[in-house]
Chain A
Amino acid sequence: MNNEACGTVRELIPDFVGGRLAATDVGVVERHVPDCAECAAELALARVVLASRLAPPPQLLERLLRSVESVRTQPARTWWGISAAAIAALALGIGISSDPAAQIPVDVPGYAYEVEEGDIWLSDDGLVAGAPLFDGLSDDALLQLLDELSGGSA
């Protein structure tokens, strides 16, 4: 048994059992394991762990696909989902806070929140979930929004 070879093989074992290895590395594992009881035992264990992999319950996928449909709002609803503060900011011609951490009360990795300009992502409870910048809207669209807003408050 050769410790350096064992180290190499043990790094490769997970991808070997998962069928993710290139042919040359498959050969490295296959040549080593017959002569090394320790690596053979570790390979056997990895196979058992992979075989114990759980399958999700069949109804989960359907449930998730339904929930995806409710994640986003359609553009027409998006306009009405914007907060009064956002509308005021729009009317004043100023930008809206792009501090996403203040707007998305969820516990996801920090780098998730760097919102690119132009993205408008609203949660379906009407909160601004991204940084809604209006630069991407045409003049007609902005006028239509302002028309609808003034019509709604009259």
Chain B
Amino acid sequence: MSVRDEERLGGDPSDLELVHAGRSGDDSALGELVKRHHAAAYRVAVSLVNEDDVAQDVVQDAFIKAFRALGGFRGDASFRTWLLTITANEARGALRRSSRRKETALEDAGPVQSEAMGPAQAAVVSQEAGRARAMLERLPEKQRLSVSLRIEEGLSFKEIGEVIGSSEGAARVNYFHGIRRLRELME
């Protein structure tokens, strides 16, 4: 069963139908969009900010911004791709803020401790998968996101390009470079 099928049982409305219902004031439609896509948004956020609590804040902000701007959603991208793009932008904003905080802390208080492993990182299913997760974190940001979005979320290279702010071709190159690098790291 595919990722998308798990989240969309037979006969359910499409995302676009839910977007239209949400715009007409149907809050339950917005809730359904949250249920379908919060896991993917969370994974994108964690992949970028690498901290569980920050990632949760990022996902919440992303949904709020997406829903406030829903009147402008035209449906030429899928809702999922659009949401993940907003999530990635939010996560980058959170990273910038946290690096500014770290610089301040560095000036004030000396060296900063390395990030603690959050519960998200601890939730890996097996030793090998845990290793893969750790190695993924060592890839450059665009390679890491391209590999995750392609394999874990099933996005096309065109959709990945929208999320990482590059062309379809660049998304493809990032994916295959990321996979090759990951194989080297795992050996």
Give Cα A120–Cα B72 distance, bound, in whole angstroms. Answer: 11
The answer on a CB contact under 8 Å between A115 and B27 is no
List residues of chain A with CB within 8 A of the CB of B74: 111, 114
The answer on a CB contact under 8 Å between A54 and B124 is yes
List residues of chain B with CB within 8 A of the CB of A41: 183
Q: Which of A54, A55, A69, A112 has a CB less than 8 Å from the CB of B72?
A: A112
Give Cα A69–Cα B76 distance, bound, in whole angstroms. Answer: 26
Spot the interface stretch: A28-36, A79-87, A102-110, A141-149.
A102-110
The answer on a CB contact under 8 Å between A108 and B86 is yes
List residues of chain B with CB within 8 A of the CB of A51: 125-126, 128-129, 132
Chain B: interface size category: 35 or more
Chain A: interface size category: 35 or more
List residues of chain B with CB within 8 A of the CB of A19: 1-2, 5
The answer on a CB contact under 8 Å between B129 and A107 is no
Smallest CB-CB A-B distances: 3 pairs: A119-B71, A52-B129, A56-B42
Can you list 16 A-B pairs with a CB-CB distance of less than 8 A? Answer: A18-B3, A19-B2, A20-B2, A51-B129, A54-B120, A57-B42, A61-B38, A63-B56, A64-B34, A67-B63, A107-B65, A108-B86, A111-B72, A111-B76, A112-B86, A113-B69
